[in-house]
Amino acid sequence: MHRKQWWATAAAAVLALAVGTLVYRSVSTGDPADMSTGCHLVNPSSAQQAGRSTGLRVVDRGFTRVGSVDPRVSMGVILRNETDQVAYRTLVTFDALDAAGRSVIEDDDRLLRTQVVPLIAPGAAVAVGNSNVLRPGAEEEIASLSVTLRSTGWLSPGDGASGLGRVTATVGKGQGERSGDGRGFVSFSIDSENCAEMASRGVSLVFRDGDDRVIGGSLDNSPPLDACAPGRHEGQRAAMTQSDIPAGADLDRTLVTVHCDLDRSRPELSPGAPYN
């Protein structure tokens, strides 16, 4: 997991907790200029706002305690859009709870629990992952994973000419690596159907074991500049520099979702606001 220092004063208190995934720049193919004919991106203001996320369902989830020196919880969910519309800017908030339903995430890290998933096409499933620091002494107290969905807007279905095309990531088999302390990397390629470069809100990873069970996840919110550009992008590499990868992870089974938005506002480090 890798988080930028968004501004000098607001992020200072959490900077030490916010370092994690480094993503190396890719080699891209395809000329965006050749794809721009008839390109008319949807205006985000046209989204029908909703206070709930009815029609979105968490179809799988899992977590693992990771790290011995700096205990964390690695969390992942697979989220599916079961409607005939595009889900726009869904807020996903993670929490790890003890048996009494109390959060065991360290207080300063609670600002880093929410991320925005910009676009989920009808019928599509996306990976949403995060990891957070645990309260001192709480690493043995995790009983369950809480996932809250809210503030989804809805757009009519579209295609690449409107900025609502599919953006898919494919993991490179045999190209991932995990060290004994849970650090490592996952390699993948990206294919974007969109006619123009979108605004990046990062890359989510969900880790699975050899039986395809979800066992954790992570978020990189500073991918290479071309992660949401049109065409194919080879050689993407997300490197977890904190202990985000569970010991039981089969990296070839990692699910990767690239978060591409129609535009991007500056994230706020405040309760309930996304940090990506």
pTM of the predicted model as reported, rounded to 2 decimal places: 0.86
Question: Is residue 147 in some structural domain?
Answer: yes
Q: What one-character DSSP code corresponds to residue 141? A: -
Question: Is residue 170 in some structural domain?
Answer: yes
Buried b (16+ CB within 10 A) or exposed e, 161-199: bbbbbebebebbeeebebeeebbbbbbbbbbbbbbbbbe
Question: Is residue 5 in some structural domain?
Answer: no
Question: Is residue 180 in some structural domain?
Answer: yes
Q: Is 109 helix (H, G, I), strand (E, B) or coil?
A: helix
In sequence order, the 6+-apart residues with CB closer than 8 A to the CB of 217 are 74, 75, 76, 77, 127, 128, 129, 130, 131, 204, 205, 206, 207, 244
Domain count, the chain: 1
* Residues 138, 81: Cα–Cα separation, whole Å: 34
Nearest to 164 by CA among 57, 84, 266: 84
- For position 145, what pLDDT does the model report? 97
Question: Is residue 81 in some structural domain?
Answer: yes
- For position 79, what pLDDT does the model report? 97
Question: Is residue 45 in some structural domain?
Answer: no
> Could you tell me if 217 and 130 are in contact, meaning their C-beta atoms sit under 8 angstroms apart?
yes
Question: Is residue 6 in some structural domain?
Answer: no
Over the chain (276 residues), the average pLDDT of each successive run of 10 is 41 35 43 59 85 86 90 96 94 95 94 95 97 85 93 92 96 92 92 95 95 95 80 88 92 96 79 88
Question: Is residue 103 in some structural domain?
Answer: yes
Question: Domain residues for 149?
Answer: 17-32+57-261
Token readout for 8 is: 């000098």
